[in-house]
């Protein structure tokens, strides 16, 4: 009888240990799966952006450049860009409420004065949020627009490098944020100590993420 009780106790202890290990591991596995899904969706969005850019530059480039030159201000230029990308991302013209906030990967909040703060935000397909920022820069080697994509919309984490990624739109090409960084710099920026901006390029070229 005593031996049976001892075996039962050992069985219960073993069961509790297994449950504890599962509970410890499970959040990591879930987070990894969610992150992998964000990355997959981002790469899909970027591929669509590249396709859009190729179509536009092949068939409508000259006319579009003329439209941008005729635009009187940043708001008109932004409207032109929205009309261009709307068929590819189904952007809704109404802007987001101001309460939406964004963080860097190092958990610092993106402030209104930051280069990567986007004031003009719009809902898109499947609840995704698209941000557009006009850059008034006469140097054509520099970006003329920046765009951000919050893959899962207003749902958290709303963080660069997790569910938010971005691109520079130049006259001749589009590039994910971080395209100018070395691999070492990308790994550093795409870590809990970095901003997460470089993840846009790092994940696009097959970089991994810390689990």
Nearest-angstrom CA–CA distance, 60 and 77? 16
3-state secondary structure of 174: strand
pLDDT at 33: 84
pLDDT at 113: 94
pLDDT at 116: 95
> So where are the chain's domains?
2-202
- CB-count exposure of residue 68 (10 Å: 0-12, 13-18, 19+): middle
Nearest-angstrom CA–CA distance, 46 and 190? 18
pLDDT at 41: 94
Nearest-angstrom CA–CA distance, 126 and 145? 23
pLDDT at 3: 52
pTM, two decimal places: 0.78
In order along its 211 residues, the chain shows pLDDT tens digits of: 555 554 545 545 454 444 443 334 444 456 788 889 999 999 999 999 898 888 777 766 667 667 777 777 777 888 888 888 888 788 877 777 677 899 999 999 999 999 999 988 999 888 899 999 988 765 656 788 899 999 999 999 999 999 999 999 887 789 999 999 999 999 999 999 999 999 999 999 988 755 4
Q: What is the dihedral of CA 43, 46, 51, 54, to 10 degrees?
A: -140
pLDDT at 161: 96
């Amino acid at each position: 009888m005593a031996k049976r009780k001892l075996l039962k106790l050992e069985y219960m202890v073993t069961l509790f240990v297994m449950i504890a290990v599962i509970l410890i591991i499970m959040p990591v596995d879930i987070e990894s799966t969610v992150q992998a899904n964000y990355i997959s969706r981002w790469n899909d969005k970027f591929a669509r952006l590249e396709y859009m850019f190729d179509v536009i530059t092949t068939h409508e480039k000259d006319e579009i450049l003329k439209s941008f030159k005729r635009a009187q201000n940043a708001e008109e230029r932004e409207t032109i860009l929205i009309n261009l990308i709307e068929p590819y991302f189904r952007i809704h013209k109404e802007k987001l409420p101001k309460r939406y906030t964004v963080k860097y990967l190092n958990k610092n909040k993106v402030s209104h004065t930051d280069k990567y703060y986007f004031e003009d935000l719009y809902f898109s397909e499947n609840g995704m949020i698209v941000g557009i920022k006009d850059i008034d820069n006469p140097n054509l080697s520099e970006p003329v627009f920046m765009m951000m994509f919050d893959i899962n919309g207003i749902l958290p984490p709303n963080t660069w490098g997790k569910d938010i990624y971005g691109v520079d739109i130049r006259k001749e090409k589009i590039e994910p944020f971080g395209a100018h960084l070395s691999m070492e710099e990308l790994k550093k920026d795409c870590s809990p100590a970095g901003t997460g901006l470089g993840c846009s390029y790092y994940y696009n070229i097959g970089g991994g993420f810390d689990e």
